[in-house]
Amino acid sequence: MRQITRRGLLTAAGALGALAMTSDVAAGATAAPGARRHEGAAEFRGMWIASVVNRDWPSRRGLSAAEQRAELLALLDTAVDRRLNAVVFQVRPTADALWPSPHEPWSEYLTGVQGRHPGWDPLGTAVTEAHKRGLELHAWFNPYRIAFHTDPTRLAKGHAARVHPEWVVPYGGKLYFNPGLPEVRSFVRKAMLDAVARYDIDAVHWDDYFYPYPVAGEKFDDDDAYERHGGGFSSRAAWRRDNTDRLVSETARRIKEIKPGVRFGISPFGVWRNAATDPRGSDTTAGVETYDDLYADTRKWVREGWIDYLVPQLYWHISLAAADYATLVPWWDEVARGTGVDLYIGEALYKAGDPAQPDPWQDPAELSRHLTLARDYADVRGHCFFAAKEVAADPVGAMARVVADHYPTRATVRG
């Protein structure tokens, strides 16, 4: 999703280096667009809190429960201070859990040992404390990533990937669940929906990781699954897109069955397809296209009304030739128009002031200009900032500038 995660450790490689690849998806199910809009609701002002590899929280593994809790509450207070109204909290970074899940082990990012109880319930505390502060709590899950290594024996005893090695695909130095297996999709839905059933979360949130970002010279080995389940599809790519579509549409249906008031949002890589690939695509030349490389037909999910909101990661500056922020905002605005799906824009706060970034990101006003530009598009209903560490530290004052220019008063969404 972004820099080391936000939405996932390849996210910076995904969103950042995303200009260098391509993606694909398709499939079907139901859901009527329209009825889910929060009429008259305040604009969405969110920030991601990434737990994967301790990106934002907790600051390191092995902190005491009291120290972890204090850090989490400090981030929630930061959101309030910045006049935000939502936090997107990563609670399932690598087929693990930041709550007492009956399906998956406690995350190693808490104690340093996967499966070890941290002595408290981070998700339960986050929900309660966010709501106390008038913040929405969106629980962020990564569906298929298992580990940042390829050794299943390093996983906790009883981990689904050890019990079912046939579900696992090593790729690019990592382990993934195979999206082509119906039993895998059933398991990951069950693992995620446990949190929906047990906690008063406001939304289920996914990032940009479905099939993994392409790795040069490597093949994602789903031959057996394709042979068993790919009959009737025109290509492996079409079958993979259908697998992703099924996960999205079936999860959407189950969320509404369990708790109709819980929303479902997805934050994809910011380019669906380039116009040179598909005339319906954006006037971009991004190296990654979600439809063709990640097998995620994000445009279709909006058009079908399977999701309640979309947060495309538009992590590029205004006037970037390959993927211009000023080109992508109107493209996504048109995609969302008339669908009843809320459109929020994912903003790369982490790039502001980073010496590795081009000149526009050295200007503290670049991000504020993004919000000014987006204001002209009626279907853009808010923004989400990656990520919490930068919202708090704000090294060059880019977030302070956004608050001063665009958030003069608090905009709460909960009573």
For 210-248, write each residue's pLDDT tens digit. Answer: 999 999 999 999 999 999 999 999 999 999 999 999 999
Predicted confidence at residue 41, as pLDDT, reads: 57
Phi-psi category of residue 131: left, alpha or beta, with phi > 0 → left and psi -120 to 50 → alpha:
alpha
Does the pTM of the predicted model rise above 0.85? Answer: yes
| Separation between Cα atoms, residue 212 and residue 221, nearest integer Å | 12
DSSP state of 116: -
| Separation between Cα atoms, residue 346 and residue 386, nearest integer Å | 7
Asked whether 59 and 17 are in contact (CB, 8 A), the reply is no
Predicted confidence at residue 16, as pLDDT, reads: 35
Asked whether 235 and 248 are in contact (CB, 8 A), the reply is no
**Residue where the block lists tokens 């972004």:** 2
**Residue where the block lists tokens 């005491």:** 64
Predicted confidence at residue 411, as pLDDT, reads: 82
Asked whether 308 and 203 are in contact (CB, 8 A), the reply is yes
Three-state DSSP state, 184: helix
Low-confidence ranges of the chain (pLDDT < 50): 2-40, 415
Beta-bridge partner residues of 263: 203
